[in-house]
Amino acid sequence: MKNKMQEFIRKLAGFSHLHADDIEAIHALDAELITIDRGVDIISEGDKPKFLNLVHAGLACRYKLLEDGRRQITAYLIPGDLCDLNVYVLDKMDHGIMALTQTLIMRIDRTDMDALLERPRIALGLLKSTLVDEAVLRQWIISAGRRRAIEAIAHLFCEVHARMAAVGHVQDGSFFLPITQQDLGDTIGLTPVHVNRSLQEMRSNDLIRMDHGALHIPDIARLHDIAGFEPLYLHLLEKSAAPGRAADLVGRP
Amino acid sequence: MKNKMQEFIRKLAGFSHLHADDIEAIHALDAELITIDRGVDIISEGDKPKFLNLVHAGLACRYKLLEDGRRQITAYLIPGDLCDLNVYVLDKMDHGIMALTQTLIMRIDRTDMDALLERPRIALGLLKSTLVDEAVLRQWIISAGRRRAIEAIAHLFCEVHARMAAVGHVQDGSFFLPITQQDLGDTIGLTPVHVNRSLQEMRSNDLIRMDHGALHIPDIARLHDIAGFEPLYLHLLEKSAAPGRAADLVGRP
DNA sequence: CGCAGGGTTGACATCGGTCAAGGCCAGTGG
DNA sequence: CCACTGGCCTTGACCGATGTCAACCCTGCG
């Protein structure tokens, strides 16, 4: 498949005016595709990765374990996201990355990536995309620090909804987010049982409906309101669902 | 003063092998120096800054206000840090930046910065420095989400200690961190009164001593232990205090 | 001297955590 | 086909960390 770098290119192009030879260079990467099952590490804390891992399909997360088993998820990674750009700054991973659904990963050779980074437009694109990641991280800090349970959950759902919508993965207000309540709690800083109760309340207010990993949001504006969500920070262009696009094989129940 | 870009260059050089002409270009920036008092905005949410603001001395913070007045601080900015690289990605600020102590800011013309970003070594340095910022943000998420009050406060103190030490601002385990308990609470997601009680407990265990904005850490190893602090993620080289270096005019009570 | 901005304290409220028991499937193996 | 199992979701009773409110107290400063 020649389109294997599709998502990555789309993402960079959203930030930087890539030239034809930049795109050429990206396509020229030869990357190994591997499949990772839910719950298994793509990279573990302490690893010194020799490859760069690029999410091709599925959903993964950055996470960190404290000694006593507490876990905090610090990012969701969706197709087009690079897992370990940070090797350029830390030779050892200071956190792990795990598949939240079955995930397809492309392994890019480190030296190939080095070459890519020589290209100013690509470096700039990555810089900008990292700046957006930062904006997302800031929102997560706000959720964990100052929003209460329902606001935080709503905000996360709004974020994921927006990101999914931007790549055409939302159909009629529904998209797949097959994560457990434990996972959810670990991303926001709550207990699974409190997540459970909060979700129940949200369902009973018809803010959301959940069905086998599909999340349905009947009235996104109302959810935005509750979350105090302002999509600006995601730097996404609004894009309606692309019905022609086949759904990913992964992420389905 | 020809050394006005000192901190910025030092920081970039820590990430990327700048060439002489890169450094030349940075020195060639002509930047206006302005003073900002504690509590006043350097940039406000919603601003569309025409300049890039670089912290030259003092301490500032990124923060975000929720509608009902809750505040969350999402980063501390120390000398050498750029406030608003994010204009490259969001034309409007999605958060504010405020001085936590009297602060000296250098305003760099936006087009000058554009030119700087054409330089691959500088772009790469900024990318890497942004990656470290990300690592810090992740730790803050963990603090807000999964650490309890004392652990989180301890972790923050460890982080600031390490960053201060790296630029020679720690003397005998002491450094200036003249922020209020309100500020502290807003960075970790706690109430000022709970911060107060937690600090009292830490003081009574002789983990810290506080005196007019100076923070003294008698046994940094013990604090590391309580916080679960692993300095790796900061990507700092250990550097002992440089007694010859005059303390900044700002940050003193 | 008086004020303002922080720091402290106490009494009490609450959000969210803990523990422990069931319940509900989907997948597996007999 | 059915019983079993392992994940995950739900529930209830109770607990505890942190929040709220409201004084009061310092201390530096005009």
Beta-carbon neighbour count of residue A42 at 10 Å?
A: 24
pLDDT at res. A112: 94
pLDDT at res. B24: 94
* Stated length of chain B: 253
d(CA A39, CA A96): 12
Cβ B232–A92 below 8 Å, yes or no?
yes
Amino acid at A110: R
CATH number of B2-129: 2.60.120.10
pLDDT at res. B29: 92
State chain B's mean pLDDT as an integer. Answer: 91
For B135-172, what is each residue's pLDDT tens digit?
999 999 999 999 999 999 999 999 999 999 988 899 99
For A125-158, what is each residue's pLDDT tens digit?
999 999 999 999 999 999 999 999 999 999 999 9
Report CA torsion sign: B169, B173, B174, B179: positive
| Pairing between β-strand B174-176 and β-strand B51-57 as defined by DSSP bridges | unpaired
pLDDT at res. B217: 97
Q: Are B155 and B231 in contact (CB under 8 A)?
A: no
For A151-208, what is each residue's pLDDT tens digit?
999 999 999 999 999 888 999 999 999 999 999 999 999 999 999 999 999 999 999 9
- If you count DSSP H runs as helices and E runs as strands, how many of each does chain A have, helices first? 8, 10
**What residues in B contact A128, CB-CB < 8 Å?**
88-89
> What CATH architecture does domain B147-234 belong to?
Orthogonal Bundle (1.10)
Amino acid at B200: Q
For A57-110, what is each residue's pLDDT tens digit?
999 999 999 999 999 999 999 999 999 999 888 889 999 999 999 999 999 999
Amino acid at A37: D
**CATH of A2-127 given 2.60.120.10, 3.40.50.800, 1.10.150.120, 3.40.190.10:** 2.60.120.10
**What residues in A contact B89, CB-CB < 8 Å?**
15, 128, 131-132, 135, 235
Q: Where are the domains of chain A?
A: 2-127, 147-234
| pLDDT-based confidence at residue B238 (cuts at 50, 70, 90) | low
A193 touches strand D (CB under 7 A): yes
For residue A24, pLDDT beyond 90:
yes
Q: Which nucleotides of C are covered by protein (CB under 7 A)?
A: 5-11, 15-20
Contacts of B118 (CB under 8 A, 6+ apart): A120
| Closest nt by CA–C1' to A213 | D8
- Mean pLDDT, rounded, for B216-244: 83
pLDDT at res. B237: 67
DSSP string for residues in B103-172: EEEEEEEHHHHHHHHTSHHHHHHHHHHHHHHHHHHHHHHHHHHHS-HHHHHHHHHHHHHHHHHHTT--BT
Cβ B230–A138 below 8 Å, yes or no?
no
For residue B81, pLDDT beyond 80:
yes
Q: Which of A166-170, B97-101, B234-238 has the highest mean pLDDT?
A: B97-101
